[in-house]
């Protein structure tokens, strides 16, 4: 549990209360609880207990050679940083994969102890502050829109849980694949993108400082196909033959991993291109096929995948319809393109009963009201 809050009159704080919360320091002195030039991820001069301390519960424990006194420890609580700042990762459950890891290296830091980063790890996080600190790229997985790049995991009641994305870090859902083109039929729909941040714990706080939380974007729809034949004269002379044209594949959506480009029956030259972690893939061109040198059927172009920052808020494009050109046509059919896939949510919650708080104005691209995490 955190150290008691200030009151009127001020209740005394004993040294043993501080040791019980933060562990013994090297010299068993109050001054040794000042962290000395401790840096964690993108954070510098990290405090033993950040924010929420002191007489007004709005300060941090002093660091370096700053003056320190017992009253600084009112409302102080043990701080635990979960490591999403050492390497790029995919599909992380912060509680299960980081906090429960047997080895702290690359997983967690408990501030305090004899060397500033080896404080006693609690078995129960009630009254503790857990900071999921992200400065790297955290990707998701294709498939269900519920798939999330990072899940908070479930924590003990009373845990003060913060997800902070700093220093260029990004939590990014997976991109959807582009739709596949077909001949003489409607183009295939693009696949949906997946989620970025999944909230399992009620009361989670979210903030960014130079980082972002971005949904995975859907793939573009494939172009529509078509069929036709050259019209003959009243005796049938010059008619045909029937020809088909396939639509181009849709472009892959932006994400980690990114969406693949959709295929086309007309060969790889008509496939859509794959997306990337920063851009969408382009749709492939539809085929152009002519019957007896005159009547031409054109497959539709595949739609571009969704991506961050485009003028339509990242919405993946539908594929274009097939169309006719040149000459007289007989028994012609053209088909519409497939729809673009849906974008995944930027912030998803495990159930409708779970709420979260946005601290300041975090950089979040995508919806924040989707339900369901996996």
Range of the domain at 45: 31-61+68-76
User: What pLDDT is recorded for position 291?
Assistant: 75
| Mean pLDDT across the chain | 93
Residue 252: pLDDT band with limits 50, 70, 90: very high
In-domain check, residue 47: yes
In-domain check, residue 144: no
What average pLDDT does this structure show over 120-127?
96
Euclidean distance between CA atoms 345 and 313, whole angstroms? 13
Rounded to 5 degrees, what are φ and ψ at 365?
-115, 115
In-domain check, residue 199: no
pTM: 0.92
In-domain check, residue 264: no
User: What pLDDT is recorded for position 272?
Assistant: 98
In-domain check, residue 51: yes
What average pLDDT does this structure show over 62-89?
97
Residue 362: pLDDT band with limits 50, 70, 90: very high
Contacts of 74 (CB under 8 A, 6+ apart): 3, 4, 5, 6, 10, 13, 53, 54, 55, 57
In-domain check, residue 369: no
Per mean pLDDT, which range of 7-11, 60-64, 273-277, 348-352 is the poorest? 7-11
User: What pLDDT is recorded for position 12?
Assistant: 92
pLDDT at residue 351 is higher than 50: yes
Classify residue 242 as exposed, middle or buried by CB count within 10 Å of its CB (0-12, 13-18, 19+): middle
User: What pLDDT is recorded for position 231?
Assistant: 59
Number of domains into which the chain is organized: 1
User: What pLDDT is recorded for position 233?
Assistant: 53
pLDDT tens profile 282-330:
999 999 888 777 788 899 999 999 998 754 556 899 999 999 988 777 8
Local structure of residue 337 (DSSP, 8 states): P
pLDDT at residue 236 is higher than 70: no
Buried b / exposed e over 111-134, threshold 16 CB at 10 Å, is bbbeebbebebbeebebbbbbbbb
In-domain check, residue 1: no
In-domain check, residue 337: no
Residue 240: pLDDT band with limits 50, 70, 90: low
pLDDT at residue 235 is higher than 60: no
């Amino acid at each position: 549990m955190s150290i008691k809050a200030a009151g009127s009159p001020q209740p005394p704080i004993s040294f043993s209360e501080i040791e019980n919360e933060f562990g013994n320091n090297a010299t068993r002195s109050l001054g040794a609880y000042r962290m000395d030039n401790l840096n964690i991820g993108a954070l510098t001069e990290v405090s033993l207990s950040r924010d929420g301390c002191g007489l007004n519960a709005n300060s941090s424990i002093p660091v370096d050679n700053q003056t320190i006194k017992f009253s600084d420890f009112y409302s102080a609580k043990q701080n635990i940083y979960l490591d999403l700042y050492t390497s790029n990762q995919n599909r992380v459950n912060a509680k299960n994969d980081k906090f429960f890891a047997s080895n702290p290296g690359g997983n967690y830091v408990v501030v305090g102890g004899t060397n500033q980063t080896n404080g006693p790890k609690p078995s129960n996080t009630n009254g503790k502050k857990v900071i999921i600190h992200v400065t790297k790229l955290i990707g998701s997985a294709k498939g269900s829109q519920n798939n999330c790049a990072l899940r908070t995991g479930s924590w003990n009641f009373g845990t003060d849980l913060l997800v902070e994305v700093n220093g260029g870090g990004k939590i990014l859902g997976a991109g959807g694949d582009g739709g596949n083109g077909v001949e003489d039929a409607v183009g295939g729909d693009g696949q949906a993108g997946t989620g970025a941040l999944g909230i399992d714990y009620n009361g989670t706080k979210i903030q960014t400082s130079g980082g972002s939380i971005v949904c995975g974007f859907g793939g573009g729809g494939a172009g529509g196909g078509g069929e036709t034949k050259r019209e003959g004269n009243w005796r049938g002379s010059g008619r045909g033959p029937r020809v088909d044209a396939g639509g181009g594949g849709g472009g892959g959506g932006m994400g980690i991993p990114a969406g693949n480009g959709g295929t086309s029956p007309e060969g790889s030259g008509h496939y859509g291109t794959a997306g990337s972690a920063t851009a969408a893939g382009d749709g492939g061109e539809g085929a152009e096929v002519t019957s007896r040198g005159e009547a031409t059927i054109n497959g539709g172009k595949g739609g571009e995948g969704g991506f961050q920052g485009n003028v339509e808020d990242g919405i993946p494009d539908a594929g274009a319809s097939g169309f006719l050109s040149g000459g007289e046509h007989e028994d012609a059919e053209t088909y519409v393109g497939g729809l673009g896939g849906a974008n995944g949510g930027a912030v998803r919650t495990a159930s409708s009963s779970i709420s979260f708080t946005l601290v300041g104005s975090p950089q979040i691209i995508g919806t924040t009201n989707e339900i369901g995490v996996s």
